[in-house]
Every structure is written in C-alpha cells, then in structure tokens.
Structure 1
Amino acid sequence: MKILIATEKPFAPAAVECMRSEIQKGGHEIVLLEKYTDKSELLSAVAAVDALIVRSDKIDAEVFDAAKQLKIVVRAGAGYDNIDLEAATKHGVVVENTPGQNANAVAELVFGLLVFAVRNFYNGKSGTELQGKNIGLLAFGNVGKNVARIAKGFGLEVYAYDAFCPADVIEQAGVHAVANQDELFATCDIVSLHIPATPETRQSINYELVNKMRKGGILINTARKEIIDEAGLLKLLTERSDIKYITDIKPDADKAFAALEGQYFSTPKKMGAQTAEANLNAGVAATRQINAFFADGCKKFQVNK
C-alpha cells in the first residue's frame, strides 16, 4: 500500500523519519508531499495512494474525487473540521483522528498564555497571580483533563462543563462539575475553551455568555476560531475594559481586537500542537493507526461513522 503524508506545514524531520520507519514496518510505501503551494499538487499526489496523513490541510470533495484508490485518511491531531466527512463517507473512505497526542502541548500553552496575561503582557506594570482563582474548562476531554492537572499545581480551583461527559466523571478527577456553560462563565475568573467547531458550537461564545464573567475575567481560546462570535466579543471588550481575550488562533478581526490595548493577545499562528513531542506523537500515532487498519481492519478512531 502507498501511504501519502501531505503537509503544507511539514512534520519535523525527526517525526518524518519515525513515521517512515513505522510505515515500512507495516510493509507499506511512504510518499511525501511537503510545503506544497498549489492544490493541484495535492490532487496529483493523491491519485495513486491508498492512505493519506494530513495535519491542517484541507481535504474536500475535490480531493476525494481525485483519490480513486484512497481507503483511509488520518488527521494527525484531535480536530478534523478540515476534512469533509460527508464526502469521505460518500467515497467509502474512513476518516480518523489521533486524539490525545497533542493534549499536553495545548495544555502547557494555555498556562504560558495565562501567566503572560495576568502579568499584563509583561509591560512592566504590577499584575496578579493565578493562585486562588477559579478556572473553568468548557469541555473535559484530553486537553481539558491536562489543563486541570496543571491548574492544580498553580493552586487554582478547577471547574468544568462538558455536555458529553457525566458530572461524576468530572468530580472523580477532582474538578467541580457545573450544570451548564452559563454557570461556568458566571463562576470563574478564567474560562479556557476546548470545544470543537460544530454546527452547535459555532459562534456560541458570544456577548451574552462572556458578559457573565467576573470583573477582571480572562477568556482563553486554544480550540477553534469558529466558536467565537467575534462581533459580539469585540462589543463586550469595548464595553468592559476589565476583560481580556487571549488566543493562539488569530481572529478575522485581529486588527480591531489589537486596538483594545491591554485586553487582547494572539500568537502569530496556531501554536497548540507546535512542540517536538506533540509533532512526533501525532505523526507516529497516525502511521500506527493506518498500519492497524490495513492489518486487521481496525477503525477504533474513526470519526465518520
């Protein structure tokens, strides 16, 4: 079988070599397409391969139409909204992700950004400490659990809401479960977002919800840009100079947010999974899942069921 690794933003060289080794162990052939600049390159590369590994590359209906032999696509990461699941299913292609492989990297970034925010973006003025404050986690999946673990080390009280995670599971992790996201925002000094972009969550973080936060609240988004109602959040930040918004996903209205001095910070590009460890973990996990799929039909991480 031919396995294509197609990445506009490549894996680290060390990760690629480990992935190559895993693919060869499975008796398959690796094909590399890195730093491509035109979609036509991707369409040409997928034409004769059986499996595809991507990062944030957009895999739409046109790609599936071109990939006549394709049987499986694995997104090396947790989110998979860059892949057209309906088109994949129509073409009989299994789509998988690699949940948990980037979780610690994202969680550590949350606290790097938080310390930066509470110290007034290192502008030399007196800031505050995290210890003793309440942090709320909107979703309690792999990333949320890692954020909770680190938060306890900072002396934070941790709260969480997850529509798909039972309250007793949250409580067993030593985290306070709340009844809904409204209560989470009203209870916490800091809210960290870890929800996917779905029809239900898109633009759900809006004026009314964030306005429930306490004075001096911090909203941090290392999840997806689409979950933020940018117009509503901008309006709120204009009205409430006490609230800060920090993210590793540059919003469409970046210039408007940046004009709110002392209230906003975004990294130049998405940074959550940008560690050597996460890069390696996600890439190797993707190759192992493909090997398992071809060896015995394993579809444990399929997302287009």
Structure 2
Amino acid sequence: MSEILVATEKPFASDAITKIKKVTDGSKHKLQILEKYTSKEELKNAIKLTEALIVRSDLIDKEIIDAGEKLRIIVRAGAGFDNIDTAYAATKNIVVMNTPGQNANAVAEYAFGMLLYEARHHFNGSTGIELKGKKLGLIGFGNIGRCMTKIAKGFGMEVYAYDVNPNPSSMIQENVTPIGTAAEIFSSCNFVSLHVPSTPQTKGSINYDLLKLLPKNSILINTARLDVINEADIIKIMEERNDISFVSDFTPKNESVFKEKFADRCFYPVKKAGAQTEEANANAGIAAARQIINFFDKGDLTFKVN
C-alpha cells in the first residue's frame, strides 16, 4: 500500500476532495489531505513518508523534493507544471505528471468572462463593443484553444490560430483558420488570447514587436502564464496607445503601474482563478488520483512530463 498526499495551499473544492477519496477508497492506496498549509516547513514535514503527491499551483522545488524521502511520483492537478522542478525530480527518479485538458473548459469560460467585461468597459454603462463578427486569434491551439473555439463560434466570431507545432488539418476540422506566424495573429485579430506553457522559448515572447501590431481597439487576454508576456513592453504599448486593453489571470509584477495608469482598460483577479471551478477541481483531482494508482499498479507513465 502506498500513501498519496494531496497538499494544496489553495484547497480543492470540497466536492472534489470527496470524489478523489472515492477513487482512492476503491484502491489499495491510502489518501492523506493537507490543505491551507501556511509554511514550507509544514509541507516538508507532511511529505516525509509519502510516496505520491498531488498539488495544484503549489511550488515544489528542490528543498521540498528532498524532504520527500520516499517520494516516487508528483502529479500537478492541472495542465501547467512550471511550479515543479521537473529536472531535479528526474535526477531523483521521481516521475512528474500533469492532467492535461481537465480544466480546459473552466479556463476558456473565464477568458471569455474577462473579455466580455473588458469589451463592455467594466460594465460601467458606457458604449462597448460586441463579439459577434470579430476576429479571435489564439496563440497556442491545445485543449483550452479548442474550448475557446467552441465558445467563440457561439458568439459568431471568426477564429484564427497559431501554434509552434501546427496541425492545420485539425484546426480546419474545427472551423479554425491556421495562421503561420504569431505576428499575423497580432496584426489581424481584434482579440488575441494566449494559451502557451511557460518555457525558455515562450518566456517574454509576447513583446513590443508583436504588441505594436495590434489593430485599433484590441484586447489581449492572458490565461497562460504571467512570464510569457514581457511586462515592460505591455506597459510601454499601453502608454503609447490608449485603445489597447489587457485582461489577465495573473497579478502584474508592477501592479501599481496598472492601477494608476490603466485601471479603466485592464483587469486581473485578486488571486489566479481561471481553473477555479467545482467541475475543474473535480476533473483534475480525479485524474491525478487515477494516474497515481495506475502508476503504482500498472507502471503507467502516460502523462509523464520529465
């Protein structure tokens, strides 16, 4: 019997925990829960004897990994896994997995919520713009991009997509126009939505050279990662052009600048909220638990990322 620890500073929805327990109760493995921990030491103490760890956006660095004396697998309940030191985990023969696609619909709905909020000027009663007939450009066409497409089509929008690993036939099947470069997306679409992971290649890749191409009255949407945008460059372009708006699931590093200069044309939440729905919590948590059980019982490495 292996011990599985769910360790979350920002807890899963209570219903999600119940569903995760149902999965593990039907196995030979034991589930432990650590929610709302307040220090690194608390997490380090909890992880000492566990063999499997489920986390959300929690930072799992070298220090935490070293504290897990028996740790064999870490699963990020979500798609992005840049909060985990995957390379160091690999040196200790610890498998790292994610749960791709489980929160895609939640993030897509949230992105459209932010888009509508900004397109209607924060619902302040002034004249905004409609989404119907507008062009939506997607940077990255994975699970979230596909969910974005379905919602966009319901609004009567045209959808264009660029991906570093393009699959034009898949895009065309979903009535999406494939685009060959990110620059073409930025220069031709009313709204540009980012759906790429944080990698050495993508960090800071949304820069001034791209941002200056945006058409008049454009809105940039970021539910990807904070660091894929060069923050100095988004500040620069918004200072130069008062027709560009920006919505994000992440608090900017220079939050005071955005509050002072762009309060009427930017939005970001108090805490990251894109995947924070009961359904997404349950989907990702259940997937994480099943992946761990399959790893222990069958040696399944399907979603291994390191």
TM-score by length of 2: 0.98
Residue 262 of structure 1: aligned partner: 264
Q: Which 4+ residue blocks in structure 1 deviate beyond 3 angstroms?
A: none
The Cα shift of 1:168 comes to 2.1
**CA deviation vs aligned residue, 1:97-151 (integer Å, no higher than 9, x gap):** 0000000000001111111111111111111101011000000000000001100
Residue 210 of structure 1: aligned partner: 211
The Cα shift of 1:258 comes to 2.0
Distance in 1 separating the partners of 2:296 and 2:25: 13
Q: Tell whether the 8 Å contact from 1:4 to 1:49 is kept in structure 2 after alignment.
A: yes
* Alpha-carbon RMSD: 0.9
Residue 36 of structure 1: aligned partner: 37
Distance in 2 separating the partners of 1:261 and 1:72: 43
Distance in 1 separating the partners of 2:166 and 2:63: 36
Give the alignment partner of residue 274 of structure 1, picking from 276, 281, 289. 276
Letter of the 1:177 counterpart: P
User: Percent of pairs identical after alignment?
Assistant: 49
Q: Secondary structure at the match of 2:264?
A: coil
Matching of residues 28-67 of structure 1 within 5 Å:
28-67=29-68
**CA deviation vs aligned residue, 1:224-259 (integer Å, no higher than 9, x gap):** 101111111101000000000011211111121122
**CA deviation vs aligned residue, 1:260-295 (integer Å, no higher than 9, x gap):** 242211111111111110011110110011111111
Gaps of 5+ in 1: none
**CA deviation vs aligned residue, 1:52-94 (integer Å, no higher than 9, x gap):** 0000111111112111211110000000000001111001000
Q: Tell whether the 8 Å contact from 1:258 to 1:265 is kept in structure 2 after alignment.
A: no
Letter of the 1:262 counterpart: D
Matching of residues 153-192 of structure 1 within 5 Å:
153-192=154-193
The Cα shift of 1:213 comes to 0.8
Residue 196 of structure 1: aligned partner: 197
TM-score by length of 1: 0.98
Letter of the 1:282 counterpart: A
The Cα shift of 1:10 comes to 1.0
The Cα shift of 1:44 comes to 0.9
Establish whether residue 106 from structure 1 lines up as the match of residue 111 from structure 2. Answer: no
Distance in 1 separating the partners of 2:16 and 2:213: 43
Distance in 1 separating the partners of 2:62 and 2:188: 43
Q: Secondary structure at the match of 2:220?
A: strand
Q: Secondary structure at the match of 1:48?
A: coil
The Cα shift of 1:5 comes to 0.5
